[in-house]
Amino acid sequence: MASFKRVYIDSLTGAYNRAFLDEKIAEILQNARDEGKVLSVVMFDIDYFKRINDLYGHAVGDQVLREFAQFLKNSLRAGDILIRYGGDEFLAILSNVGYSDALKIVERILENCKKQEFAKLRITVSAGISSFPKHADNWESLFELVDKSLYFAKRNGRDRVGVLQNVGRVIIPTYDIVGRINEIEKIINFVESSKKAKVLHIIGEIGVGKTRLVKEVLNHPQLKSYDKFESLLSPSTKSIVFYPVRQLVKYLAQKNDSILKELPPSLLSEIYKLNPPENSELGELFYVDKFKLFEALKELLKVYTQKVSPLIIFIDDAHWIDEFSLELLSYIFRSEDAGNFAVIFASRIEETKEDLIKKFFGLLRRDFMEIRLMPLGKEELKQLTVMVFGQNVPDFFVDFLFFKSGGNPYIAYELIESLTKSGDVYWNGESWEFKKDFDFDVPSTLLALTEMKIASLGAKELNVLEYMAVFGKPVDLDLLSDLTSLRYEELIPIMDRLENLGFISRDFAGSYYV
């Protein structure tokens, strides 16, 4: 018993701890499945608890936690489980209690809490609820939803139960990113791997979530010490020489207007051609001294990252970047002392026939990394649907969505919106219903997406795709070579590109199929 307490009981409050939750939650859910029972998960969070510690000290804060834990134990049934999840957050697992009953129980607890004193202090509490199997049938999704419910309570004024706001409507896009934990960790580790300049290229198909991934990284607390600059490119910006570089210089000057004064006059004059001072005309880029300009920006970045803060530069839709900007950035990266910053490029694989980013940065080894962002797997797509609908989703719907979208989040969202508009997925007043026989029309946005992908193909790529579509069966390279009269060295890059664009797949035997 003593060893059990040491491992599974929180020493401050006497509630169960995170180790108990991690060890037992799978068993608890499995028992509920086997017995055909429901259960509800409740997250309690003391409002403004940090103020108690700041105003009265941690000893008083600890006493509040002890008394609050005892209050919760007294308010719950003997068979319910109370866990101190961390800090001032407590998790309660209410066995054989559905969502509507849990809501009544928690509302009563919050009301009684306001009538009590804890270490002679009055407190209020926010709470979130999710229920098994109504909202989800696995722990990860249940916790995601109870945490989201708690977030709604706090966002709407605290001292209340958060009602999941996607009840009766779909949440598109999901509040949280799905299935990119490894990529986020990899990018953060790369950014922090050294104090030198670094280049990261994220490439993937349209709608796979490149921009959202980078935004998630930029907002990560581990990178809060970095300044972040973002530039979104387009076909119209490609014709503007040094467009993202001009934006960058303007951003740095606005963040710290004295930083330009650190540069020698000869280099500052070149910077002013990109970003002229107020009340002056745009510099004559025709007469720019390219070497001086490149040196000037290198020096500016070096001084900024040394005297202001390290920097992350995010260039979105980088397939539209002009060659002058790439040439300038690649020059800087070949310097040993360019400063502590990272440039993150995100580009569409559909638009990247000639990969200029690789052309300019491919010679870099240690300080260049490329991530090919793949579509979501089926389990990740299932998690996404739980977050969209706020409840568990039948497997046949996930299978359909995965087959039609290929795991592309944007396509999945478009399909979900189309099906809810058509009534094939509908709200019955309490939960979402999913018809098995869809009266399905492909959304116009997806047709346009497919047309754009097809338009990006070259003549030989189109020819191969047409042969495969007509043949209608899996084909290997030998047969394709006979059908198309193309050599192996021509076919291999064509097949790679068609596979990257999602037109074809490969089976276990190595054959290709549409």
CATH of domain 181-372: 3.40.50.300
| Pairing of the two strands 39-46 and 81-86 | unpaired
| Residue indicated by tokens 């609908």 | 389
Distance in angstroms (rounded) separating the CA atoms of residues 283 and 275? 8
Q: Report whether 114 contacts 122 (CB < 8 A).
A: yes
Helix, strand, or coil (residue 67):
helix
CB 332 within 8 A of CB 366: no
- Secondary structure (3-state) at 326: helix
Q: Whole-model pTM?
A: 0.65
Q: Write down the architecture of domain 457-513 according to CATH.
A: Orthogonal Bundle (1.10)
d(CA 418, CA 381): 17
Residue identified by tokens 């922090």 is 192
- To the nearest 10°, the Cα dihedral for 243, 248, 253, 256? 170
Give the phi and the psi of residue 113 in degrees, each rounded to 5: -60, -40
Contact 367, 193 (CB under 8 A): no
Rounded Cα gap, residues 203 and 347, in angstroms: 5
CA distance 341 to 299: 13
DSSP code of residue 238: G
Question: In terms of C-beta density within 10 A (0-12 exposed, 13-18 middle, 19 or more buried), how is residue 35 classed?
Answer: exposed
Give residue limits of the domains in the chain: 2-162, 181-372, 378-441, 457-513
pLDDT in tens, the chain (514 residues): 556 667 889 999 999 999 999 999 999 999 999 999 999 999 999 998 988 988 889 999 999 999 999 999 999 999 999 999 999 999 999 999 998 899 999 999 999 999 999 999 999 999 999 999 888 889 998 998 898 889 888 877 789 998 765 556 787 887 678 889 899 989 999 999 888 889 999 999 888 999 999 998 998 878 888 999 999 998 888 888 899 999 999 999 888 888 888 888 888 888 887 777 664 444 444 466 788 889 999 999 999 999 999 999 999 999 889 888 988 988 888 887 888 999 999 998 866 555 666 677 666 656 888 899 999 999 999 989 987 887 789 999 999 999 888 899 988 998 898 888 888 899 887 778 999 887 666 666 666 666 667 776 778 888 888 878 777 778 888 888 887 888 877 888 888 778 777 778 777 777 777 7
The closest of 74, 71, 96, 93 to 83, measured between CA atoms, is 93
Residue 44: C-alpha distances to residues 73, 85, 183, 319 (Å)? 12, 9, 31, 47
Radius of gyration (Cα) for the chain, nearest Å?
28
What's the 3-state SS for 443-501?
CHHHHHHHHHHHHCCCHHHHHHHHHHHHHCCCECHHHHHHHHCCCHHHHHHHHHHHHHC
For residues 200 and 369, give the distance between their C-alpha atoms in angstroms, rounded to a whole number: 5
CATH superfamily, domain at 2-162: Reverse transcriptase/Diguanylate cyclase domain (3.30.70.270)
Contact between residue 183 and residue 76 where contact means Cβ atoms under 8 Å apart: no
